[in-house]
Amino acid sequence: MNTLEKARVLGEAGKYDVCGGEICKPPTFTPGLQNLPGIIKAKSENGHFCSLLKTLYTNSCKYDCKYCANRAGGSGSGSCQKKIAQYQPEELANLFMTLVQKRIVTGLFLSSGVAGNPDKTTQGMLDTVRIIRQRYNFKGYIHFKVLPGTSYELVKQASELASRMSINVEAPSKARLSELSSVKEMNTDIIKRQSWIKKMNLRSGQTTQMIVGANDETDLEVLKMAKWEYENMNLRRIYYSAFSPVKNTPLENNKAEAKSRSNRLYNTDWLFRIYKYDFKLIREILIDGMLPSKDPKIAIAEKTITEPVDINEAGYEELIRVPGIGHVTAQNIIQMRSEKKEHKLDSKNLASCGVIIRRAAAFIKINNGTQKRLTAFS
Ligand code: SF4
């Protein structure tokens, strides 16, 4: 198999790792490097989009995760997945640098199946990244996926070369993971490595991924695990990947999970990670352990905002509990109040602070009135 064929196989096989707000280009197979399936646009932490080469080092894997196209003994879906491919370090480093020089990508997301043993595969990934950093002096973004079971020494070496690292917990508990994989063990293979990475000095920290809907875990289980991970492993982000069945795997006949579920988990994650909502508030809206089908911020507001929030008096904590007011908007409101001093804010001021009126209207009070209708703001 030549390098371009490998790039197609391994780029397509890498699509199961989520790395945030991405738009994967379809695998068109038309000539031209810019059409490779592994080239994606991902949203960075500052909200800008960057192009990445997102690829596996190899799609050969000795593990048996039930949902995975690359599992041992599985042929996976799609024509690409039936072929096994593996880069040589020089080959992948040269391909990546060609894409950088042609301004097609600005960074690398490197993951892999576990061919043989985790250290052997990780060594190949490390050699690739070392060539990119040391021979080509590439200073940009490299996300390095740690394989379950990799030794401390290799994880440490990777941390000295990567911008960000991640190891996927995949499931919300040790028991749930064992339902999906007979080989991976949550504490020894994954959490232990996260705790090593936590102590290493990474420019962009560490992240993880959980698959939702591959078994019958509840949102409460997922969110409790997320909370634990943020508090104990110092994660920058958790990605929630909605399960999608892959042909020729044990879960091929299971129903695909709705994207709306992972979107609700992202929204709820934002509430406790960024807005620092007490977890008790999130528990309040769960029904049989599941989030309601509406926006969780609105569901919490409906349950807990018993009196309309006075925009001219409320503190930051109270303001950000109002749907349609985010943390920048809350700061704008407080800033504008201090500039206007004795003059109260009116509805026009709110709009200019960034309040999304149609979301906030039912929960706020201005000049002693609750704004129930949008027309009150016109
Ligand atoms: S370890 Fe990764 S590549 Fe291997 S079967 Fe599990 S999810 Fe797939």
Q: How far is the CA of 71 from the centre of ligand 1 (A)?
A: 6
Q: How far is the CA of 63 from the centre of ligand 1 (A)?
A: 6
The residue contributing the CA closest to ligand 1 atom 1 is 63
Q: Is 111 helix (H, G, I), strand (E, B) or coil?
A: strand
pTM, two decimal places: 0.86
Give buried/exposed letters for 261-297 (b at 16+ CB in 10 A, else e). Answer: bbebbbebbebbbebebeeebbeebbeeeebbeebbb
Is the predicted pLDDT of residue 76 greater than 90, yes or no?
no
Is the predicted pLDDT of residue 191 greater than 90, yes or no?
yes
Report how far residue 361's alpha carbon sits from residue 378's, in angstroms, rounded to the nearest whole number: 12
315-364 pLDDT, tens digit per residue, is: 999 999 999 999 899 999 999 988 877 778 888 888 899 999 889 989 99
Helices and strands (H, E) in the chain, number of each type: 15, 11
Per-residue pLDDT band for 233 (boundaries 50, 70, 90) equals very high
Which residues contact ligand 1 via a Cβ below 6 A?
61, 63, 65, 68, 70-71, 113-114
Q: What is the mean pLDDT of the chain?
A: 88
16-62 pLDDT, tens digit per residue, is: 765 554 444 444 444 566 677 888 887 766 667 888 999 999 999 99
The residue contributing the CA closest to ligand 1 atom 3 is 113
Is the predicted pLDDT of residue 145 greater than 80, yes or no?
yes
The residue contributing the CA closest to ligand 1 atom 6 is 65
User: Where would I find the beta strands (DSSP E) of 117-231?
Assistant: 141-145, 164-166, 206-212
Q: How far is the CA of 69 from the centre of ligand 1 (A)?
A: 8
Per-residue pLDDT band for 365 (boundaries 50, 70, 90) equals confident
Report how far residue 95's alpha carbon sits from residue 88's, in angstroms, rounded to the nearest whole number: 11
Q: How far is the CA of 15 from the centre of ligand 1 (A)?
A: 13
Report how far residue 271's alpha carbon sits from residue 9's, in angstroms, rounded to the nearest whole number: 38
To test the pocket of ligand 1, the residue of 9, 71, 185 to mutate (highest count of ligand atoms within 8 Å of its CB) is: 71
Q: How far is the CA of 115 from the centre of ligand 1 (A)?
A: 10
Per-residue pLDDT band for 188 (boundaries 50, 70, 90) equals very high
Report how far residue 193's alpha carbon sits from residue 211's, in angstroms, rounded to the nearest whole number: 19
Domains along the chain with CATH numbers: 3-257 (3.20.20.70), 258-303 (no CATH), 305-377 (no CATH)
